[in-house]
Every structure is written in C-alpha cells, then in structure tokens.
Amino acid sequence: MEIRDELLEDREAVWQVEAEAFERPDEADLLARLDPDKAFSLVATVDGEIVGHVLFTWLPVGEHRALALAPLAVRPGVQGKGVGGELVRQGLARARALGAPAVVVLGDPAYYGRFGFAPDPKITQSYGWPEEAFQVVKFREIVGEASYPQAFFL
C-alpha cells in the first residue's frame, strides 16, 4: 500500500471510493464543495488502484486556524486492513508539519480514539453533535469554538 497526495486525475476514482464506502453519493459530493477550504487530500493505493481517501480542510477554532478531518473513506472490500488507519496517521503527521494547532473530527470515538482523538472541553461546537463524537487532536494548546465550512451543511 502506498499513501500519496491526491492528484487532479484521481478525482473520479476518489469520488467512487467515497460513494462506495458510504453507500450513497453525499460524502463524495461534499468533496467538490470543500475544495476552497482544502488543506490537503491523501489517497491510498494498492497496485496502482485507489482504495482509500482522506480530506483535511481548514476551519477556524476561535482565533486559530485548525484542520477538520472529513471525509475518510475506504473501499468496502479493503476495510479492516489498516488502510484508513494509515491515512489518518499520515494525515495527522502532515497536519502537524503544516503547523496546524489541532485537528477536529466528528466520528466514532472507538475508531478515532486510537489516533489520539478525544473530546476536549476547550474546543467546542454549537451544531448539536454528540459530545463524545466531536473529538480533537491538539498539537499545541488552543481554545475556541470550531466553525465548520458551510459546505458541510448543504
């Protein structure tokens, strides 16, 4: 398996991975709407075929510019083989290297907790999401409310 930056010519394959993983086009369609806020996008390939994808977008957290991890998708036939985990690990390393103070995610605590994500009372959200599902990895101390791009809500 290789993890690399998404290329322009990968767009159609990435859309397909997202649509298959979520069994609907909603998350795949979200990718184009988030393009203006994109920090970086990674793909996982096996034998040259794209089997996984993760997107990181910029978002304000109080006075800071942090990152949101979403969406993360792995083709159904490859799930459970470490593809998603490697995308998250390499994405977090890239986020740290970019100088982002934190990464937020809305997701399963059992899954994302393995990578250091946890609820943090100093980083809040006002969207009504379950507290345990809104999680943060901090690279340095920040405080504030996360403001997701409007594209997430269209």
Total domain count for the chain? 1
pTM of this structure: 0.95
Low-confidence stretches of the chain (pLDDT beneath 50): none
The per-residue pLDDT for range 20-38, each reduced to its tens digit, is 999 988 888 888 899 889 9
b (16+ CB within 10 A) / e for 72-101: bbbbeebeeeebbbbbbeebbebbbeeebb
The CATH number covering residue 11 comes to: 3.40.630.30
Task: Give the range of the structural domain holding residue 17, as residue numbers without chain letter.
Answer: 2-153
- Residue 106: the pLDDT is 96
- Residue 25: the pLDDT is 84
